[in-house]
């Protein structure tokens, strides 16, 4: 594949290395602030020499980037978080000229396995009302959104599985939390790639599920896998669609 990387910070550089290691070509790196990037802005002309864009830029440019990419009929791996209020517009764009979008708050394959485990765990805890779930996440001090997209995805899995929880609350609480609310809290500091903890607490014990990233390579590998998966597809997809497809293929091989 011919790949454009949008967002050429630490993550973009790791993705570039992963793309090349997997035998693909990087035709451009896009970033208005990084002096090492080959261009500052994405354009229709730039896309003429590419098959897919892997976007790890900033929330403010996510939608405008998607508009340019989809109108050119190209594929987009959207790893940027914080744009989810524009979800409906993203879905509309993905139907243009054979374009496709696959998005996730976290492209790490390990995290997505974590999602599958949490889905089943939440279904079990739905029957045990004495356990109260909550989520906490840690990230590095350069992260621009809070809570993380991954934490929100974890929260939605808990809401889907536990009937007594209906609303996510992520702001600072200066009151008693309501029984139907699920609290997601965040810490920002240091160089932490990402740690997410889902706890189920009762008066007698606490059960925790935890994922700790050791680096950004897992996110990069997952985003390149997503680019390979979406290469011949059209439409709007989430990482869940890719994971279900992979698991189904593995089941058939068995």
> How many Å apart are CA 228 and CA 188, to the nearest integer?
32
Q: Which of 212, 230, 245 is the last residue of a domain?
A: 212
Task: State how far Cα 157 lies from the chain centre.
Answer: 14
> In which domain, by residue range, is 189 found?
109-212
162 and 239 inside one domain:
no
248 vs 71, more confident: 71
Residues 5, 124: Cα–Cα separation, whole Å = 41
- Do both 233 and 177 map to the same domain? no
Give φ, ψ of 114 to 5 degrees.
Answer: -55, -40
Q: What pLDDT, on a 0 to 100 scale, did the predictor assign at position 81? A: 86
49 near 25, Cβ under 8 Å?
no
- Could you tell me which residues come within 8 angstroms of residue 89 by beta carbon, excluding any fewer than 6 positions away? 63
CA contacts within 13 A on the Cβ side of 79 = 28
- pLDDT for the residue numbered 236: 97
Domain count, the chain: 2
Query: pLDDT (tens digit, 9 = 90+) per residue, 168-192?
Result: 999 989 999 999 999 999 999 999 9
Highest average pLDDT, of 106-115, 151-160, 238-247, comes from 151-160
Q: What is the CATH number of the domain that holds 16?
A: 3.40.50.720
Which 3 state secondary structure label does DSSP give 95? Answer: coil
The answer to whether the Cα torsion of 248, 93, 99, 7 is positive or negative is: negative
pLDDT at position 215 is: 83
Which residues participate in catalysis according to the annotation? 139, 143
Instruction: Looking at the structure, tell me whether residues 115 and 240 fall in a common domain.
Output: no
């Amino acid at each position: 594949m011919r790949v454009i990387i949008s967002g050429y910070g630490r993550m973009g550089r790791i993705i570039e290395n992963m793309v090349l290691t997997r035998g693909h070509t990087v035709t451009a790196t896009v970033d208005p602030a990084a002096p090492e990037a080959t261009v500052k802005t994405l354009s229709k002309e730039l896309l003429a020499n590419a098959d897919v864009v892997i976007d790890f830029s900033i929330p403010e440019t996510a939608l405008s980037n998607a508009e340019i990419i989809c109108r050119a009929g190209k594929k987009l791996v959207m790893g940027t978080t914080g744009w989810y209020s524009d979800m409906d517009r993203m879905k509309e764009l993905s139907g243009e000229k054979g374009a496709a979008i696959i998005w996730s708050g976290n492209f790490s394959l390990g995290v997505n396995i974590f999602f599958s485990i949490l889905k089943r765990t939440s279904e079990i805890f739905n029957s045990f009302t004495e356990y109260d779930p909550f989520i906490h996440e840690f990230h590095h001090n350069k992260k621009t959104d809070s809570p993380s997209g991954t934490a929100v995805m974890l929260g939605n899995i808990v809401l889907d599985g536990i009937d007594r929880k209906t609303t996510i609350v992520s702001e600072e609480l200066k009151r008693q939390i309501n029984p139907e609310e699920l609290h997601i809290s965040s810490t920002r500091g240091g160089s932490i790639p990402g740690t997410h903890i889902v706890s189920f607490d009762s008066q007698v014990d606490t059960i925790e599920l935890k994922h700790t990233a050791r680096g950004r390579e897992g996110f990069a590998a997952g985003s390149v896998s997503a680019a390979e998966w979406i290469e011949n597809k059209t439409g709007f997809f989430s990482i869940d669609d890719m994971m279900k497809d992979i698991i189904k293929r593995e089941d058939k091989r068995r």
